Structure 1
């Protein structure tokens, strides 16, 4: 009897659980059924084609711009060396790295006693040579008079009679003594080491109490009136700028006679978030043996007076703008694939690949030439092409938002 009750109770428990489950399922089904005319209405239009972000571009003329990287260097930089031997007797307090000095300012003095003595000795030799020359000139005059009084016809058999060789020797001796004196004075002047131009001391190589010999380094000096950047460009880039530097046209090349004011240039430092106006002043007039590129030189005057100062050693991006190039399209760099293809979207919203030629680049944009006529006023290009693109593929164009 007890077993029958347990079996009966178990069946009722299963029945109750099953009933509750069915009720819950029916409730969920009724709640999830869409209302008539809702989002899942079978009559709603179905979207077709791959969503693609597009941008409208126009054929136009754009100023050519080339960019290249370079390092800022002073126009004048010099490692000054000793020209005479001797102990150091004076060091200018300014002889420290980072100090500005003026042209002609004395920075180091070398013991000059021996060089002053040499100057005095050479002065004495000049004086003696002058006396010898005066004597020979007097003797030559006497010899000429004696020859005339002798009544002999013609010229003497030897120049020694009229003392011409002795006179020439005296003159040569005086000339040699004078040049020796000039040289000793120059060597004396070398005992004072001066700044050859206005600049900043970059490195000092001497200390008090040292002795110098000819050729020893004393200091390294950078001129700060002008800095220069050398960049390497191709012949095509030069042509874009309108600078024809071929051998047959160098007389007309503006770079050879000074800055070309028709070409705008600036130097940009991404680290400092700053830029400086520059001038293209000349070309290297040769090709680099490794890269086969030509060198252009850009200069900035008074770099320390700029805001911020343009310091030597700064790595910059040179941006040079030249003449306008017609029939170009300006589009984002992302629109140009690695294979050089741009995907256009035609009037039927289908993709059309075009092999494009990059002419030059800008800030995040590329200027291309498609080789086609600009009969259409505007074109739509896919901003972000991907590997699934195919010619004739139907797409959903979505205009790129500005900004």
Structure 2
């Protein structure tokens, strides 16, 4: 085959080097060359493309194989489930009071346990107020009682004498004034008043000894020896240690998972057995646990958060078992509350959810279908739903795009069911 450039040189030499033509003939040849050259180029191109087409290597034709998507999943099984409701709260004493004196005076003694964190038992002496002024009042009241008692005895004797004289000398029925009955009533009233003053003085004297009203601890101490305290001034803040309380706020959805009938019922034994709450908190570098019971709910719904709290009681929170720790006042705890048992539900891994409230199933013809379900409980790893049928095949692999009716290949995932 002649290369294209050499072919063009040949044509040019044919018309221009042949030569010896007259100058008028050269003009004719130039015009012919102008019209023939494009035709020759097209013909040459066609010849070249034909040669390339015939000499190219043959390519094998491969028929595409249609791939089938593999769906990995589990078999849905109907079961029963008892949910656990998680909540958090702060430990508080069941009783907390401000200790105040009922008499005024100077503090002359305080108990060694009357200090921040100090433990005490019910009836222990905590503070003594100078009792001398109150002892003097008792002595005066006792003297007043003795005087009133003597006057009453004298008045009774005079009344008896007046009655005898009237019987001997008088005529008819004697008037109360003659028999001195008004004077006797006055003497009896004065004796009763004197005795009341004595009781008041004795009570004030007794109140100079301030005792613990319950078993507890001192949260804050406000006074010490030598300080003068007035009536009603604050001495300390005390809290009980026999029972601790934890208020656990729950949403309406969480409350719906509890058996409220048992909470508001009258059978306390059933309540404590059913609603035993486990509490967890780190103490001393270790995660500790305690057991309490729901005893009631809060009186009203919180106006700001619109939630209702349940109250958990823990008895003897400061009693430490082997390897345990006290449930300290003010400790922040996590709680696990057992809910009422749910029947005819399905437990699925969270990866089975598609668009929040749907799941993807594989039907009998191995085609993909989406199905709406009712989510009734969820945990960090699983969801509890209704709306499936026992034995349905559920996809657990997240899908970016779902095309309803797509033909798939089913693959059962062993050991992924909850």
1:176 is paired with a residue whose SS is helix
**For 2:394 and 2:98, how far apart are their aligned partners in 1?**
60
TM-score by structure 1 length?
0.74
1:254 is the counterpart of 2:254: no
Identify the range of structure 1 (229-238 vs 311-320) with the bigger mean alpha-carbon deviation.
229-238
Aligned to 2:178: 161
- Please say which structure displays the higher CA radius of gyration: 2
2:359 to 318, 331, 343: 343
Aligned to 2:110: 91
Aligned to 2:371: 353
Compute the displacement of 1:240 (Å).
3.9
**For 1:381 and 1:166, how far apart are their aligned partners in 2?**
104
**For 1:287 and 1:214, how far apart are their aligned partners in 2?**
38
Alignment map for 1:105-184 (pairs within 5 Å): 105-154=124-173, 156=175, 159-184=176-201
Structure 2 gaps, min length 5: 1-61
1:228·1:300 contact (CA, 8 Å) conserved in 2? Answer: yes
2:123·2:211 contact (CA, 8 Å) conserved in 1? Answer: yes
1:332·1:383 contact (CA, 8 Å) conserved in 2? Answer: no
2:121 to 102, 123, 131: 102
1:273 to 287, 290, 301: 287
Across the aligned residues of Structure 1 and Structure 2, the Cα RMSD in angstroms comes to: 3.4
TM-score by structure 2 length?
0.71
Compute the displacement of 1:392 (Å).
4.9
Q: How many residues align?
A: 349
Alignment map for 1:317-328 (pairs within 5 Å): 317-328=334-345
Deviations 1:145-190 (A, max 9, x none): 334334533462xx32222222222222222221221122221122
Deviations 1:87-110 (A, max 9, x none): 221122222222212222222222
Cα separation, partners in 2 of 1:143 and 1:275, compared to 1, 3 Å: same
1:299 is paired with a residue whose SS is strand
Aligned to 2:29: none
2:84·2:338 contact (CA, 8 Å) conserved in 1? Answer: yes
Identify the range of structure 1 (203-212 vs 271-280) with the bigger mean alpha-carbon deviation.
271-280
Compute the displacement of 1:354 (Å).
0.9
1:282 is the counterpart of 2:296: yes
Cα separation, partners in 2 of 1:106 and 1:155, compared to 1, 3 Å: same
Aligned to 1:380: 394
